[in-house]
Every structure is written in structure tokens, then in C-alpha cells.
Chain A
Amino acid sequence: MPEYNWPSREASTVIGKVHDRLDGTVKSTGAAKYTYDVNLKNQLIAVAYGSPYAHCKIKSLDVSGAEKTAGVVHVEILPQGQKDTEIEWEGELLAVVAAESEAAAREGISKIKLAVEELDVFADEGNLEAAEEAGRTGNGGGKVETVNEPGDDDDEDEFVEAEIERLFKQAKHVVEGYYAIDPITHCCLEPHGSTVEWKDGKLQAYLSTQNVSGTDEQFARDLKVTADDVHVQCEYIGGGFGSKFAPDYWGIAAARISKATGRPVKMMLQRDQELKLGGSRPSGYLKVRLGADQNGVVQVWDSHHWGSAGYRGGGVSHSVVPYVLVPPNYRRTSTTIKSNTAQARAWRAPNHPQACAMTQTALDDLAATMGANSYDIFLANLANASNGKADVYRAEMEVGAKLIDWKAKWHPHGKGPSRGSIVDGLGMALHTWGGTANTSSCLLKVHPDGGVESFCGTQDLGTGTRTVCAQVLAETFGLEVDGVRVNIGSSKYPNSGASGGSTTVGAVCESHRRAGQDALEKIFELAAKELEVDASVLEAVGGRIRDSANHDKSITWRKACSLIGLKPLEVTSNYQRGAASTLTNSGVGGVQMAHVEVDKETGVVKIKKFVAVQDQGLVINPKTCKSQIYGAVIMGIAAALYEQRITDPKTGKFINAELSDYKLARLGDIGEIVVELYEPESERVRGVIGNGEPPAISPKAAISNAVANALGVRVPTIPLTPKRVLDALAKA
């Protein structure tokens, strides 16, 4: 077995070089077929009926009107729509209408009659007192850490209480504050859904999924067949962001309806259903007191936070509070709230964005209290970096500060010059993430004519996975990227892990590089005989196999492949998540800085400039890598300033579940964004690390801090809407 490794920076010809994404043209011309675009002959279009009540018990669901509607072929009442079922959030699907057209299905839906017993609704998830009164709270856990430990005879709780008070008395600076971040939804532009067809006891499922290799088993389990009977395909997916790991019960229902009707069925969630059910991120509300020494280094942290991940409880994990910069003494506690809203799903860097937004804002308020430069306070607190990355952060802060011109543009909080009612401010935040490689297998075929084909059950969420696979193989064989054909997006291909947690780029780099090196070893053996050299001296460069010491001794790649014989050389290579490897690694930092303008009369915040400095080990394709970061920052700008799920506290209705009301950033809202890949040799040699999540973490805190710097007042709750800005100013 060869020793798996990457070529040096100097020796690399494809890796680390900019390459257009392979599917750019098909995506830009509408040729790329997404699940929603797959139309099967004679298909039915299914639309679901959702509960208009957030909390109720079903008394009856009359679908006879739907059944009689012209064009309607089949109506199924889902288990949730059965009598006496308790519905826990608005939008929960109760029945599915399959018809000849979407319009006919919708007309059928309009004729469904529902009778319910309404139950008590709680949806005011930021209101801890009300939640307690309503009996909707649970213990979210917590942790206490103190440098001094209780004596054998001390009562632990009493000791902690006294010790924390002692530390606060000792502290030179104390900040007390409230910091909050509202829930948002994944809002995938392609809604959750599938186009499915039962044929001869087998299911063909075109599914919008981040989990091609894992969803065949999920379909099979619920439909009582084997995974071999299910073929899941997803060539292109219109957004997932952590919300599309399963067929979901509506995907299973579509399969059932296909079986019952003998026709293919396309069932995608409607837009409002996508926002209500397709995934959301838990809210977080935090009260904290922190104490720092004369240098602004936090010595003691005491916080309680609450929030909701939906009716089944959960919230932001206490384990990431305070975020990254963890002082030696802390007490963190948390409460979960059962709100009548759909259960949250993993949202790009679960827990981290909220924790960052709720705690690095408090750190910035320490700078404000001290009249200090926020940069210096973050710098001083790197001593408390819980991931041992103080040096990386320090270097990234330097790079970021230069790019945003921190020194020249800095002014103390609320003390900057104003142009009329406009003030500007700077803010920063930093983050961390794992990004370890997921399990992945790759089947590689090297054809006797020199063609290279790979097969892997991974998926490309728009991150550039296809392109990365091709670059890795091209580099390995000394070929052009166009000389490699990458096949992904089918559950019939070798298993590859779900795309979640920034694990995909590592996964496919492991499997493709391994398969490539394994295949190349065999080709070298054949070429060595032909060239009459030892295989160990050979290298694949520029479309040739050559003696690394004597370049004249070479044959073309094509000639070498012709030695394979009549059948292609086939190699399958695996990587198991967690196995030691020199190809990939885990654990990154990342620093972001925002420069904003705030209009004190209107409360409107505008991004002037945003700088993101990100490490991710070895970068395969700087172009798609940067695109990921641009995207994460833009998503972060949306979450910082615009988007929020607004739930009516009395009825639990999600009242802005359309894109005209669910406000996202538009092209004119993003200002100037500068992305810098931090890749010194010390990072590059670590190997490949995923970067999908990390840059999505800091924007909220960085922007909130910039607004606080501009105004001299903290706007406590994110998103920082104009009303909230004005309210904060009025209160100050």
C-alpha cells in the first residue's frame, strides 16, 4: 500500500490552483436537473395539507371534497391527520393530495375540512418567565469550573457561590448584560421533497438530500424493503444547510402514494411549508455577568441562557458558552423551552453562531466599559482560547486588521465622528470548528485508453465537491482536470458520508486520493517493466509517467494505461472517519471584522466592508473555497440584520412564511466583502479540513459589535432591525 500524502506546494500543479467549478455551465444555463426538475412520465403532483393550528387535537379530517376535485387521483391521510392525534406545531402535514397538476392538487387541498380541539399554545420563546409559568421549561444543563477548589468540608454549591462573588469583587471591570438571537429558518430555495417511482417492487427516488448514501436505508426501513431495493439519486440539490439528511415523512408518503397509484409521484413542500417545517435554528437568550482584570482579560463568567429548539425541547448547548475564549472560572447554566414551533434541524455550525453572538458581544461590551480598543481586548483574551489556537487567531487578526484598516478607522464606542445622522463602527469576532473527514469510499476505473472515472456516493451541495474530486485525481495522475470524469449523487455508488459538519471535502479527498494513489501504484508497476526501471522512481507528471531522476525515460499516460489490458483497472479505496491520516485534519480558527454604518434617525444598518480571514489546512481549490466563505458571510449578514422567524406568541403561527416577508439579504445589502485564505506552510501541512461551517459563525457577533461601536449602545437582540436599533437608542 502506498504512503498516502499530498505533494508539496511547489510540486502541485492542480491542487491549490484556481479551477472553475465543473458544473458551472449546467447550473448557469438551467441544464442541471434538480429533484424538483425531474419529471417522470405519467407522474402525479402531490401537495400536502398542513395544520393551521400550532397546538391542537384532531377531531376529524374530511378529505371527501378533495377526492371529488377534478384532476385529483389519490388522497392520503397521514398518521398525523388521524383522529385524536396531538399536533404540536403549525404546518404539520396532515394529508397529501396527488393530482394531475399542481393546480388541481392545490384546489383539492382547499376543500379539506379540519375540526380540532384547540390546546394551549406557547410560542413566546424569548420570555423565560412566561415559559416557566406555562410549565414549558426544562433543565438544559450547565457546568462550573473554578481554579480554587472546595475543601473537603465545604458544601460545593455554597463554595461556588462564594468563590464567584469573591472573584467579582476582585475584578477590575464588570459587565452585566443581556444578549439574544432569534430563530431563523434554513429557507432552502429548493424545498424538501422528492420525485419517486415504484416499479417491480423497487423504489427509484430522486431526493433533494445531503445524504445520498444514507437515505436509501431510511426509505427501506419505513417501506419494509431492503436498501438494495431503493435507489436514491441527487445530482444537484438546491440548498440544505443541515436540514436535508432524511427522506422525511412526506418523502415516505410520496413513495406510498406511488405504490398505491402505480404512478410516479413528485412531492415538494410548498414555500410556506418549507419555512415552517423544513428546518430552523434554535433561538438563544442569555444573561451574563463577567469580571475582568486590569488588562481586560476575563477571569470570571457567570451566565444563564434559555431558548427553544421546538416543542420537543432543546436549545443552544451550554458546552460552547462562553464561546472559544473561556476564562479560568465560569458558571454556565441553561434552560430549554418547549415552544409550539417545528423542531429545529442542524443549521450550519450547530450551536456555534448563537453562542458566538451571545458571548463575544459581552466581551466587546467589556472593551466599551473600559474605553478600550476591542481589538486589544480580543487579543488579550486569546490567552483563554479553549482550542489552543491563540497563535492562529493572533496571526489572522493581524491580517484582518490590515485589510479593514482597523487602526486608522477605530474610535472608542460611540465616540466616532458623525455625518448627519450617520455613524460608523468596527467590530470583530472569532470562531472555531472541527471539520474532520467523514467516512468515504471511491471506486476508481482507469481505462486502457487513459480515461479516468470515479464513482462515489457523495453529493455536491454547491460547495464544489465534484470539482475537488476531479482536481485530486488529476493531480495524482498528472492529468488535466478535464481528463477525469467524476460520478457522484447515487446511492448505488460506494458509500460516502452525509454532508454535514464540514466533513465532505475531507471525506472525498481521503477516498479519491487513496484510490488514485492505489491505482497509480499498479500503473507504475506496469510502466516500470516497460521503462526497465524500478517502480519506486516513477512519477506521474504532465500526462506522462517518468523516471523522477531521468525525465527522458518516460511514456505517455495513455501508453501506460494501454498496458492495463482489455478491461479497465478497478480500485476501491476507503476511509473510515476517525482513522489517523496525513491527508486530512480537524480544528480550525477564523477571524472576521465588520465595518458598518448606522443611521441613528432610521435605525438602518449598512455593511460598508466585511473581512473574513479563514484557515482550513490545505486548500484544494481557492476559488470554490473562497465562494464558501463569501456565502457564509452573506448568510451571516442576513441573520445579523434581516432574517427572523416571527411567531405570533398567542397562536403560534409563523407569520412571515413567504419570501416577501421572510427578509433575506439581497445583492445590494452586502457591502464590500474581502475573503483571505490563511494558508501558511504550518497550516497547509496539516492536510485538508472542511470550511463550510466556520465562516458562518462569526458574522452576527462581528456586526453586532460594529453597531455597538458605532452607537455606543448595545442593540441586544439579533437581527438588528431598524426598530431594535431605535429602541436601543431610545433606552440609552
Chain B
Amino acid sequence: MTDSKQKSAPKSGFSRRAFLRGSGAAAAATALHTQTAAAVDDQGPKVVRGETSITLNVNGKDVQVKAEPRTTLLDVLRYQLELTGAKPVSLDGSSGASTVLIDDKPVAASTTLAMAATGKQIRTVESLGGEQPDDVVQAFVSHDAQQCGFCTPGFVVAVRAFLNKNPDATEAEVRAGLNGNICRCGTYANIVEAALAVVKGD
């Protein structure tokens, strides 16, 4: 393991930088790349076949799940952990509906292999709910930034990640920075308002 990798990913051997390159088609390639890198980094080449038990850290808790090499993080969340906020909309991640945070960066869970997410902090939209929902959730409600709501969890996570990085975002920055998600009902205008309301602390 090199020093730079230790700095960026202290809890695992995965290349964090490669992992965070983005969502969409890039993430699929990244996930494969990451898996290979991990295998090489830790124990030398290792071939995994069939279903094995792995540990994922989801919303602050370590959970044991079953995964085949082909199993996506999205399938694990939805079918084993009953965390159905992240949605399966496009296999290639181009809708952003399956967005979750991995080590605080937005990633499409539909194009992330479950095995590539071990040793990472995975946060789903459900972690933004609870008794005192996240400001982004509250702004989505008060600005009516959802209609059918199927894209909404992915959007909420994307907005949270964007605002973490850009807490003082201007309207122009909001409009330029949230184009990884698709809404079919057309809630974008309300999402812009919601994001700006969070910036202003409304």
C-alpha cells in the first residue's frame, strides 16, 4: 500500500480517489477498477466466486450481507437491508436515482459493486430522516420539491452532497451543479428553491 492511498483511504485498501470519480457510466468502470486495485493492494490477486458474506458499514452500523461479485450495492440495500430509498431507475446510473454517499461523496449505488463498498462509510437517504430530518429534507418538503417522489431520495442525497461541498452556493452554481439526477415529473424549479433555502438557512 502506498502512502498516498493510506492518506486518502485509511480504513481500506481501496483507492478512494478512483472510487470518487463520479457517477454514471464512469462509476461502473471505476467500481471494476477499484475492485481489482483492492485485491492487488491487500492480499495480492484474489478470485472471488459465488456468494460470500461481507461486512458493509451502512448509516453508521456494520452489517453482514451476502454478495456475489456481481451483486450491486443497490441490490444489497434494497433487498437485504430494506433500505429502499435509493431507487433502481437506470442500470447505468445516468438517472442519479440510486445516489448514496460513500465516504461523503455521491455515488450511484446501481453501478457500485457491493464488494467494492466494504471498508467505506455508506450513507443512504434514510440517514437524513428521523426525528429531526436533515435541512435538505425539510427544504424539499417546504418548497414542494417532489411530485411522484421516485427520484426524490436520490436528489435529496445529491443536494446534500453538493451543499456539503458548496455551502454558500449561488443560484447559478446550484443550476450548474445538480445535473446528475433526472426528475420526470419536473420538480427542478422547486429543487433549486429548496437548495437555495438551505444555503440561506431559511
Does A421 count as interface, using CB distance less than 8 angstroms?
no
Does A627 count as interface, using CB distance less than 8 angstroms?
yes
Does A440 count as interface, using CB distance less than 8 angstroms?
no
Does A31 count as interface, using CB distance less than 8 angstroms?
yes
Question: Considering the chains assembled together, what is the distance between the CA atoms of A30 and B70 in angstroms?
Answer: 25
Measured between beta carbons, the chain B residues less than 8 angstroms from A624 are 144
Q: Are B146 and A462 in contact (CB under 8 A)?
A: yes
Q: Which chain A residue has the least Cβ–Cβ distance from B125?
A: A30
Per-position contact with A for B162-202: 1 when CB-CB < 8 Å, else 0?
00000000000011101101111111111110000000000
Among A31, A667, A668, which residue has its beta carbon within 8 angstroms of that of B126? A31
Q: Are B148 and A190 in contact (CB under 8 A)?
A: yes
Q: Are A30 and B86 in contact (CB under 8 A)?
A: yes
Per-position contact with B for A633-670: 1 when CB-CB < 8 Å, else 0?
11100100000000000000000001110001111101
Q: Are A623 and B152 in contact (CB under 8 A)?
A: no
Does B117 count as interface, using CB distance less than 8 angstroms?
no
Q: Which chain A residue has the least Cβ–Cβ distance from B80?
A: A39
In A340-373, the 8 Å CB interface with B consists of none
Q: Which chain A residue has the least Cβ–Cβ distance from B75?
A: A102
Measured between beta carbons, the chain B residues less than 8 angstroms from A31 are 85, 126, 129
Does B13 count as interface, using CB distance less than 8 angstroms?
no
Q: Are A630 and B82 in contact (CB under 8 A)?
A: no
Measured between beta carbons, the chain B residues less than 8 angstroms from A395 are none
Count residues of B near A (Cβ-Cβ below 8 Å).
62
Measured between beta carbons, the chain B residues less than 8 angstroms from A697 are none
Q: Are B75 and A659 in contact (CB under 8 A)?
A: no
Does A29 count as interface, using CB distance less than 8 angstroms?
yes
Does B10 count as interface, using CB distance less than 8 angstroms?
no
Among A25, A462, A660, A668, which residue has its beta carbon within 8 angstroms of that of B137? A25
A-contacting 9-mer, from B1-9, B14-22, B33-41, B87-95: B87-95
Measured between beta carbons, the chain B residues less than 8 angstroms from A239 are 148, 150, 184-185
Q: Are B149 and A236 in contact (CB under 8 A)?
A: yes
Measured between beta carbons, the chain B residues less than 8 angstroms from A673 are 189
Measured between beta carbons, the chain B residues less than 8 angstroms from A128 are none
Q: Are B24 and A660 in contact (CB under 8 A)?
A: yes
Among B83, B94, B141, B192, which residue has its beta carbon within 8 angstroms of that of A25? B141
Among A36, A190, A668, which residue has its beta carbon within 8 angstroms of that of B178? A668
Does B30 count as interface, using CB distance less than 8 angstroms?
no
Q: Are A27 and B146 in contact (CB under 8 A)?
A: yes
Q: Are B75 and A101 in contact (CB under 8 A)?
A: yes
Q: Are A238 and B149 in contact (CB under 8 A)?
A: yes
Q: Are B70 and A24 in contact (CB under 8 A)?
A: no
Does A492 count as interface, using CB distance less than 8 angstroms?
no
Among B71, B140, B188, which residue has its beta carbon within 8 angstroms of that of A670? B188
Q: Are A28 and B89 in contact (CB under 8 A)?
A: no
Among A24, A463, A668, which residue has its beta carbon within 8 angstroms of that of B179? A668
Does A187 count as interface, using CB distance less than 8 angstroms?
yes
Q: Are A30 and B88 in contact (CB under 8 A)?
A: no
CB distance from A404 to the nearest CB of B (A): 16
Q: Are A462 and B189 in contact (CB under 8 A)?
A: no
CB distance from B124 to the nearest CB of A (A): 7
Q: Are A238 and B92 in contact (CB under 8 A)?
A: no
Given contacts A30-B153, A667-B174, 9 further A-B contacts (CB under 8 A): A27-B149, A101-B71, A187-B184, A188-B184, A238-B87, A635-B184, A659-B89, A666-B182, A667-B191
Among all A-B residue pairs, the 7 with the closest Cβ atoms: A30-B85, A634-B186, A238-B150, A29-B129, A27-B149, A631-B186, A462-B147
Q: Which residue numbers of B lie inside 8 Å of A, CB to CB?
A: 24-25, 68, 70-71, 75, 78-79, 82-92, 94-95, 97, 124-126, 128-130, 133, 136-137, 140-142, 144-153, 156, 174-176, 178-179, 181-192
